Structure 1
Amino acid sequence: MLRWRESRVDEPAAHELLTEYFAGRAAGFPATQGLYRTTFPVPEDFIEPRGVFLIALDESDSALGCGGIRLLESAGVDGLRYEVKHLYLRPDARGQGLGRALLAELESRARAFGATELVLDTNASLQAAGGLYRSSGYSDIPPYNENPNATNWYRKVL
């Protein structure tokens, strides 16, 4: 059974997952785009009500992945805008619908904070992620940030 545990991004379990995520992104980053730029998240951005960071756990309390949402200071088109960040599943947890479940939980948490929309950025090389976002109701939008690792930006009205 899949469970969620709230975590600070600087706690050991979260830091380990984020380190894996960044290492994987750096290793698979398209050479034509230069070097992947790693930026660890600011812990205060992922503390309620500004945000939340979740660790996905299996029935034996093993960490399967993570993801978070944070409030963006810039107002959303329709009101309060939150951003999905660092949605990551360990390789052996992929392909089982866990990413969709984690994204849905983050959307639920954003709604509980009063969010009217969610945005996120990703890289076109992450084809499965792009497919997940589009099939979950996210639409392409113009860039809302200057993330040098991103090639695609998405929005979902909640």
Structure 2
Amino acid sequence: MTDDIQRIRRFNRAVTSEVGALDTSFLGLGRPLGSARVLNAIGHGLQEVGVIRDYLGLDSGLMSRLLRGLEAEGMITTGPSPDDSRRRIAQLTDEGRAAFTEYERLSNDQARAILARHPRPQAILDAMDLIATALGQDRIEIIEIDPREPEAIHCLTQYYRELERRFATGFDVNLSRDPEATDMIRPRGVFLLAMSDALPIGCVGLKGGDGPVAEIKRLWVSPAARGLKLATRLMTRAEDVARSLGIHTLRLDTNSALPEAAALYRKTGWQEIDRFNDDPYPDMFFEKTL
């Protein structure tokens, strides 16, 4: 156990040193990491002070000091929200926007340098995904999105690649009964994404029609997020949406090469039924009454 603890502490020291967490001038731009992170959050679209504070995990006192410092530098302005005067919002000034852009450039350069120093950059990325997802698991959000958006396409592409690797026959989406995007958009259905700090790490589709029966499609969770019960969360949310759309019965299909999927369905109340479509890939079929 002691060795495990020391490994974690060694990792913490390495990250602290690499990202410059103790530097008084993060990335050489004259302000510490805390101020730079607040500037970054505002630059990426977070404006309400309470939302920024929660996102960064800061207490109210520290948040106030960081905002005052950025205001004194002329990087930001703060004031009441036009929608609710009880809320404060922060916005970048022109100088703040320029500083944000420079931080983005330097941070991207730093990330490229980290990958370039290692002979197995993909292994580094996979390890980082695993750790970041584990540490941020309490902040994973499930959102609704158009399945034609880039984040959704990313998840679907990863899903298809995994089926290609795991199916003995391979997988060609053109031969599959791929649902129409409009069947997975309200009021017919929905497409859900699991998001971890703006990175899509899981998805599921609810393919609806004009009646009380719909299908669950394209359930996928990133390897970095497996074991965190994210598939169950996605399925539960899809079932909740189905109820709200007046759907009474859900069906899905899967392949025996995905035994963990079948185990999840059985555990959460799905019953195996006869084949209900002519898709060439599935060999197991399930139904659940809501």
Fold shared per TM-score above 0.5: yes
Q: 1 or 2, which has the higher strand percentage?
A: 1
Q: Is the 8 A contact 2:190 2:205 kept in 1?
A: yes
Within the alignment, does 1:27 sit opposite 2:165 as a pair?
A: yes
Within the alignment, does 1:38 sit opposite 2:173 as a pair?
A: yes
Q: Is the 8 A contact 1:37 1:149 kept in 2?
A: no
Aligned length: 149
- Identity over aligned residues, as a percent? 34
Q: Is the 8 A contact 1:81 1:115 kept in 2?
A: yes
Cα 1:41–1:16 change in 2 (3 A) is: farther
Question: Cα RMSD between the aligned structures?
Answer: 1.4
Structure number with larger C-alpha Rg? 2
Cα 1:72–1:141 change in 2 (3 A) is: farther
Aligned mate of 2:266, from 134, 142, 148: 134
Shift of 1:70: 1.1
Structure 2 partner of 1:90: 222
Q: Structure 2: any 5+ residue segments left out of the alignment?
A: 1-138
Structure 2 partner of 1:62: 199
TM-score by length of 1: 0.89
Shift of 1:41: 3.7
Within the alignment, does 1:124 sit opposite 2:124 as a pair?
A: no
Could you report, residue by residue, the CA deviation over 1:85-130 in whole angstroms, capped at 9, with x for unpaired residues?
0000010111111101111010101011011111000001101100
> What secondary structure sits across from 1:96 in the alignment?
coil
Shift of 1:62: 2.1
Cα 1:146–1:72 change in 2 (3 A) is: farther
Shift of 1:72: 4.3
Q: 1 or 2, which has the higher helix percentage?
A: 2
Counterpart AA for 2:140: L
Highest relative contact order (Cα 8 Å, sep 6+), 1 or 2? 1
Structure 2 partner of 1:12: 150
Give the distance between the partners of 1:38 and 1:128, measured in 2 at CA.
Answer: 21
Within the alignment, does 1:50 sit opposite 2:188 as a pair?
A: yes
